[in-house]
Amino acid sequence: MDSRSMNLLDGTLFFNAFSSGASAVIKVQNDLNKLNVFPVPDGDTGTNLASTMRYILELTDVSSSIGKTTRSIADAALMGARGNSGAIFAQYMHGLSNVIGNRESIDGQTFARAAQEAISYAYDAMVTPVEGTMLTVMKDWADALNSIDGSDKSLLEVIAQSNAVAQKSLEETPKKLAILKKAGVVDAGAKGFVAFIEGIKTFLSGKCVNLEDEIIPGVELRNHVHIDEGNIENRFCTEAIIEGTKLNIEGIKSIISESGDSALVAGTENKARIHVHTNEPAELFFRLKDFGNVAQQKVDDMEMQYRVSQKRKYPIALVVDSVCDLPKEVMDYYQIQMVPLYFNFGQSQYLDKITMKADQFYSMLDSAEDYPVSAQPGMNTFQNLYHFLGTHYDSVIAIHVSDKLSGTWNASKKAAERLRGKKISVINSRHVSGSIGLLVLKAAMMIEERRDHDEIVETIETLTNNARIFVSVNTLKYMVKGGRVSPVLGLVGKALNLKPIVSVDREGNSKLYGKAFSKLGNMKKILGFVEELNKKCHVVSYNITHAHAHKTAKAYEDSLTKLLGKKPEYIMEVSPVVGISAGIGAVSVSVLCERDTWSPDVQIK
């Protein structure tokens, strides 16, 4: 291929180059996971970026028009973005599409200008942009691309020259971010972006990847915001893509048809999209996992959508993410909307609490070859939900997991800001699991009492200081596997039978709060913490959550009921996403008190 003949970029050429770049990212995902230390060292940046790229490749409608093609890429990217890096990349593609507009084709100089102007979109996606990350390398690459005089150069030469700048910028990321320097690595997301540019360079040099067999014909996503009947036999509209070699299509069809109605299997023997209305999406995906990698899972709660549109209880909608541990019956009663996080077992991606049940998750946790990694929802997921809720509610209140532990709050906040004219308050709970559950339950009760939107928001933001959570971790093994504790510390902990007590501080950071050398020792310490809080702040309500530890949770219930003179609000299993870090056997106690538990006169030791 003569790269000098490619002076104009049309839609087809752009997508082919993009596909090569995306494929390069997918190929290095495991290497990226090993580099992942920022913002959380959970080893999932490569997985998230690869998932984002796959989504784009599968759902983009390619046109000869570069404007139409980049718009389709941007739409797919926003819908399928996973993790911080995926969200940044998606927002960059959105910016690129907006700048290119409706053009049929563009020359190299126009592309360079568009690439540079799109950088502001990526920066704007972050509440607090951090240099030394993917953002920095993107900006340096785009600046270099725009500064090169391409009048006598081929597109390949221009990309190669700008890629060298990106590579240098990548190597300098540890100088800009202390955590990278300390770990002795470059930024994982930034390296993923460099791999993307290198993939484009590979294509322009005549070594493009043939992705024709990756296309799935005749498949479209469905949106069930309008439902005619309230009597829904099968509650969940369920979709996914199954990837493998020589898929057993008939076997897949058999399982799909047994699971509910409106069943559909479309695609090829290497990749198929399934669609079915079912009451048991988790059971369905558990059965399908043996056929191949199950990706792009999508589950719409049609019954909840019907209730919202036809039988709305309250004028204020309440939204949470799946890290909030609150019983399903409570969620249904208050019509609370839940946006799931994601987690991966190998190449298969699941929706937290929806497409895998807790008992299924823990049965796979020890036997899985690849330890699961989690990812936040994409901004577009929240945007779609808020748009839907905005047509049926006067206002929306969202309460999310601590922004120090996940980018979910950031994605939700940015989505809310995009919907002008809608009153949407997005609260950073600074909590996790059961302590979020208590805050959300309080908000739901206030909504039921028809309290004012602003009063509820102010109350919950105040009560974040009145809540505490104490997690008894049974073993460090799972924290080591998840990359949150070093292997050396894990070995020491195992030798000493160390059982840490983990909590969150006032800002929502994960914090080691204590330790013992037995489960009983941890229980005594946690009961002591709760007793002190009750004396100084008065415990109004509490709950117990656990990771496959029913007997231990019952022991906590008996002791706490005696100590506090009342039963817990509820006892339940933590979400799989929380279980990834806490591990099997973990038990947590969350309390909500009458006053600020972080007051200077309240010292819990």
| 187-242 confidence digits (pLDDT tens) | 999 999 999 999 988 888 876 544 333 333 332 333 444 444 445 788 998 888 88
454 and 525 belong to one structural domain: no
481 with 557, same domain: the answer is yes
Residue ending a domain, among 442, 464, 486, is 464
Write the CATH number for 517. Answer: 3.30.1180.10
Single-letter amino acid code for the residue at 512: L
Q: How far apart are CA 464 and CA 590, in angstroms?
A: 12
Q: Which of 426, 448, 464 is the last residue of a domain?
A: 464
Q: Is the pLDDT of residue 567 over 90?
A: yes
* Between 229 and 134, residue with greater pLDDT: 134
At CA 270, angle to CA 289 and CA 381, rounded to 5? 60
Residue with tokens 């028809």: 450
CA distance 495 to 521: 17
Residue 521 identity (one-letter amino acid): G
Q: Are residues 448 and 399 in the same domain?
A: yes
**pTM recorded for the entire structure:** 0.68
438 and 384 within one domain: yes
Are residues 176 and 90 part of one domain?
A: yes
Q: Which of 445, 464, 483 is the last residue of a domain?
A: 464
Identify whether residues 50 and 188 lie together within a single domain.
yes
Same domain for 454 and 474, yes or no, is: no
Residues 71-85: pLDDT tens digits? 999 888 877 777 678
Q: What's the pLDDT tens digit per position in 288-314?
A: 999 999 988 888 888 898 888 888 999
Statement to judge: residues 124 and 190 lie in one domain: yes
Q: How many CA atoms lie within 13 A of 374 on its CB side?
A: 26
- Domain-embedded: residue 553: yes
Question: Is 604 a member of any domain?
Answer: no
By residue range, what is the domain housing residue 106? 3-212
Pairing of strands 316-321, 337-339: parallel
Res 431: pLDDT: 97
Is residue 398 assigned to a domain?
yes
Say whether pLDDT at 400 is over 70: yes
Cis ω for the linkage preceding 129 (within 30 of 0) = no
Q: Is residue 308 part of a domain?
A: no
Same domain, 387 and 501: no
Give the best-scoring range by mean pLDDT among 211-215, 231-235, 359-363, 421-425.
421-425
| Exposed e or buried b per residue across 211-245, where buried means at least 16 C-beta atoms within 10 angstroms of its C-beta | eeebeeeebeeeeebeeeeeebebbbbbbbbbbbe
Q: Residue 251 domain-assigned?
A: no
Residue 605: count of CB within 10 angstroms of its CB: 8
What's the confidence (pLDDT) of residue 207? 67
In terms of domains, do 537 and 408 share one? no
- Residue 270 belongs to a domain: no
Identify the pLDDT of residue 230.
47
17-29 exposure pattern, b = at least 16 Cβ within 10 A, e = fewer = bbbbbbbbbbebb
**Is the Cβ–Cβ distance between 395 and 425 less than 8 Å?**
yes
Convert the pLDDT of each residue in 50-65 to its tens digit: 888 998 998 899 999 9
If pLDDT is split at 50, 70 and 90, which confidence band does 478 have?
A: low
Amino acid at 213: D
Q: Which residue has the higher pLDDT, 1 or 262?
A: 262
Structural domain contains residue 510: yes
CA dist 526 and 521 (Å) reads 9
Residue scoring higher pLDDT (489 or 170): 170
| Number of domains the chain contains | 3
User: Which CATH number fits the domain that encloses residue 435?
Assistant: 3.40.50.10170
The reply to whether 485 and 456 lie within a common domain is: no
Q: Is position 550 within any domain?
A: yes
Give the whole-number percent of the chain exceeding pLDDT 70: 87
The CATH number given to whatever domain includes residue 101 is 1.25.40.340
Residues 550, 586: Cα–Cα separation, whole Å: 10
Phi then psi dihedrals of residue 348, to 5 deg = -95, 130
Same domain, 513 and 387: no
- Residues in the chain, overall count: 605
Instruction: Find all residues with CB under 8 Å of 182, minimum gap 6, and list them.
Output: none
The mean of the pLDDT values for the chain is: 86
